[in-house]
Amino acid sequence: MLATRNPRTGESDHDMPVFDAEQVAAVAHALRQAQPAWAALPLADRLARLAQLADAMVADATALADAIAADTGRRTESVMEVQGTVGTIRRWLDDAPGLLADEAPYRSRVAHITVEPQRRAYGVAGIISPWNFPLILSMIDAVPALVAGCAVIVKPSEATPRFVAVLQRIIARIDGLPSVLRFVTGAGPTGEALVRQSDVVCFTGSVRTGRRVGLLAAEVFVPVHLELGGKDAAIVCADADIPRAARALAWGSMGAAGQSCMSIERCYVQRSVYDAFVSALVAEVAGLQHCWPDIGAGQIGPIISAVQVPIVQRHLADALAKGARALTGGQVVNKGGGAWCEPTVLVNVTHEMAVMTEETFAAVLPVMPFDDDDQAVAWANGTDYGLSGCVFSQDLDHARAIAARLQAGAISINDAALTAMVYDAPKQSFKRSGLGGSRMGKPSLQRFYRQQAFLVNDGTPSPWWFAGAGNPPR
């Protein structure tokens, strides 16, 4: 058993079973036995099971949201997470029949051969998820994998395991689903054991762990899809709608208390509108409240992971010591034993500060003026990360021209952090923010099957056969 900390009280109040390598192997063995029958089901039957799962999650939405709220210490996002996960399942129900329709055979350019395209699902998809959105990031890859015909094992974060029991009770009610969708709880060693048992791996988490998972997957020799961290930049041009940009960026940087991968972490503002923007942003941010003592009030939840608390404190202290000023917020405070980052706007920042270069998983937005587009683009790209970003300009061509120069997978224009909201836009991470196929949009499904081709000879002797073929054996 592993004790789990409650982010609202700081106390360990939950014990989580830890699956060792043998137990993970046993789960994988059972799923590998069940997977061929799941893949052989007509697509409509697999989708019917997933439709039942979505309905069952709706029926138990309160219990599920309560468990996620206990994991994360926040209510509004937990309710949205359940709704978002149900939405993800239902989108696949709509899209999968078109995407997985049998492809018509066609005549090859090799004239006497017909190609009959096939798809073969991987056996076991291993999914490793982080703590910042425990349910949705466990299911976002699990659902298309199940649609494609894989069996799925999920290892959620050890920081947020409380939702698992509720979800497993829901899954247990769906005919056939428990034999192809299982959870194994534990920390890093359980994750490594899962990679060793997987035929395809989807990992969401930090760059540091992602790199280890990638190396291990290479050793096991299975494909791996990595969705990692970011240091997303916003660029606010002189011709931006300033109140709108301020409102969008307050949400984009402080939503989920800044604990999402595509959170805006740096804001570059054209010098001529810098003062107006900063005033508008501070007005937005200063009004945000912690969800404390009432979990249902306010907008900003606690720092979920104990590991992050000293990192956020270090980033703030480093920035303030090097001359940054907090126009609102500026510290991590203790409320009831939990750690809460005050919604913070920093100015007088430089690229010598950790808050401008390292991932800050908290409600902190440093703002810096720029002089021209080249400078803003160079600064935005001056990072090893390349997850997403945003540009604000009322001249859409101007915004597009800047967006095209940004080295990141998803660029929101005149809005912030849209990646998490828009599921149908294929995108890949740039640089160290990830590796592998698109999680979003139609290509997402392709990660879970291999293409196989039947190459059918129409009866014509192939011209490359040995000239003597057909003669009696010598």
User: Catalytic amino acids?
Assistant: 227, 261
What is d(CA 80, CA 86) in angstroms, rounded to the nearest whole number?
Answer: 10
**204 versus 270: smaller Cβ distance to ligand NAD:** 204
| H/E segment holding residue 191 | helix 188-197
CB 243, min distance to ligand NAD, A: 29
- Residue for token pair 């073969």: 120
CB 217, min distance to ligand NAD, A: 10
Query: Least distance from C-beta 389 to ligand NAD, angstroms?
Result: 13
Collect all residues with Cβ–Cβ distance below 8 Å to 296 and sequence separation of at least 6.
Answer: 75, 76
Give min distance, CB of 205 to ligand NAD, in A. 3
Structure tokens at 123: 């056996």
- Between the alpha carbon of residue 297 and those of residues 73, 74, 259, 294, 465, the distances in Å are 12, 10, 18, 5, 77
Residue 381: CB atoms within 10 Å: 17
Residue of 368, 310, 367 lying closest to 344 (CA atoms): 367
CA distance 322 to 325: 9
What is the distance between the alpha carbons of residues 315 and 331, in angstroms, rounded to a whole number?
A: 10
Strands, E assignment, 298-444: 325-328, 332-335, 338-341, 344-347, 364-370, 388-392, 410-413, 434-435
Nearer to ligand NAD, 187 or 413 (CB): 187
Residue nearer to ligand NAD on the CB measure, 209 or 412: 209
Q: How far is the CB of 207 from ligand NAD (least distance, A)?
A: 7
Q: Which is nearer to ligand NAD, 297 or 307 (CB)?
A: 307
- In whole angstroms, give the CA distance from residue 60 to residue 83: 11
For the chain, counts of helices (H) and of strands (E): 15, 20
Residue nearest to ligand NAD (CB): 191
The nearer residue to ligand NAD, 226 or 280, going by C-beta atoms, is: 226
Least Å from the CB of residue 426 to ligand NAD: 14
Minimal distance, residue 359 CB to ligand NAD, in Å: 5
Instruction: Could you list the beta-strand ranges (E) of 196-259.
Output: 200-204, 224-227, 232-236
Which residues have CB under 8 Å from 18's CB, separation 6+? 1, 2, 185, 186, 187, 190
Among 433, 446, 450, which Cα is nearest to 207's?
433
- State the minimum distance, in angstroms, from the CB of residue 251 to ligand NAD: 17
Q: C-alpha 4: how far from its chain's center?
A: 22
Q: Do residues 435 and 445 lie in contact, with contact meaning Cβ atoms separated by under 8 Å?
A: no
Nearer residue to ligand NAD within complex by CB, 195 or 291:
195
Task: Name the burial class of residue 441, with classes exposed (0-12), middle (13-18) and buried (19+) by CB atoms within 10 angstroms of its CB.
Answer: middle
Rounded to the nearest 5°, which phi and psi values hold at 256? 55, 30
Residue whose CB is less far from ligand NAD, 342 or 359: 359
Sites of contact with ligand NAD (CB under 6 A): 128-132, 137, 155, 157-158, 187-188, 191-192, 195, 204-206, 209, 212-213, 227-230, 261, 305, 359, 387, 434
CB closer to ligand NAD, 205 vs 298: 205
